[in-house]
Amino acid sequence: MGKIVAGIGSSHVPGVGRAYDLGRQETPAWKPLFDGYVPVKRWLEEEIKADVAIVVYNDHGTAFFFDRVPTFALGTGEVYPVADEGWGPRPLPPIPGAPELSAHLAESLVNDEFDITMCYDMPVDHGLLTPLPLLWSHVPDWNVNVIPLAVNVLLHPLPTGLRCFKLGQAIRRAVESYPDDTRVVVVGTGGLSHQLNGERFGFLSPEFDREWLDRIVSDPEGLTKLSHDELMLRAGAEAVEVIMWLIMRGAMAPEVIELHRNYYAPLVTGMGLLSLVDA
């Protein structure tokens, strides 16, 4: 039987990937962020030892564009190429998939009344790639298989926070009905507070971010009641992507234990990291 063994919440700021590729982990501007991932990566590799990571993220115009945006797109392929987001693909190996588990997830989720778009060929961008090398090793190859789950948080209407939370619960049921003994980590990405357009360009709210990190642990169902308008007003227009963390949290038990937290807000984005296990 498959098992959800951990949940991770992580921001996916593209500048983090650029800093990582340039080896800037020890520079004063980046060290507080990168240091936060070190114990989580060690814990994942030495203790959790996941077979598969289901990574919930949003595509940024690489696999999809505004002419066609699926609400939920599940990767079902054997491998996912590193997308070129305009300055060449990052120097990372292609992402190995888990097609057997993907197929099982797709069937289970559709039977659970979630309309899933299945994507055999899906390049992945910084939404997935930013946190992945900070959490798992990739030299010479990745030491975890990945199932990408892309969520529409760009083109309104967006899925509600409650719908995302319920999708996480359905993912848990799907994993637990998988016949093979497979250890699965669910990673919810995005946020935290930020706005990259309009009169409030550069807006962030450490107060909101800390509240979100607290309540995703203790009161996730309360967070599902926040409207998109309220999220964007309180935390910035692009902060609405934090609803993807609710998919991760829905896949966990009602009561969880927080093992690690890191928060850093140096410029225009609040960046968070959270690791959870079932209580």
Confidence of residue 203 (pLDDT cuts 50, 70, 90): confident
The CB density around residue 218, as the number of other CB atoms within 10 Å, is 10
CA distances from 214 to 106, 124, 197, 222 (A): 31, 30, 27, 11
CA distances from 236 to 64, 160, 219, 222, 233 (A): 23, 17, 21, 19, 6
The CB density around residue 258, as the number of other CB atoms within 10 Å, is 15
pLDDT single digits (tens) 214-245: 999 999 999 999 999 999 999 999 999 999 99
| Contact (CB, 8 A) for 125 and 62 | yes
- Please report the pLDDT score of residue 259 as a whole number: 98
pLDDT single digits (tens) 49-96: 999 999 999 999 899 998 999 999 999 999 999 999 888 899 999 999
User: At residue 5, does pLDDT exceed 90?
Assistant: yes
pLDDT single digits (tens) 145-179: 999 999 999 999 999 999 999 999 999 999 999 99
Burial letters 181-199, b for 16+ CB under 10 A, else e: ebbbbbbbbbbbbbbeeee
**Comparing C-alpha atoms, which of 103, 105, 62 is closest to residue 84?**
62
Structure tokens at 147: 């199932």
Domain count, the chain: 1
Q: Output the domain CATH number for residue 59.
A: 3.40.830.10
Domain hosting 113: range is 3-278
Give the predicted TM-score (pTM) of the model.
0.97
Active-site residue set: 126, 194
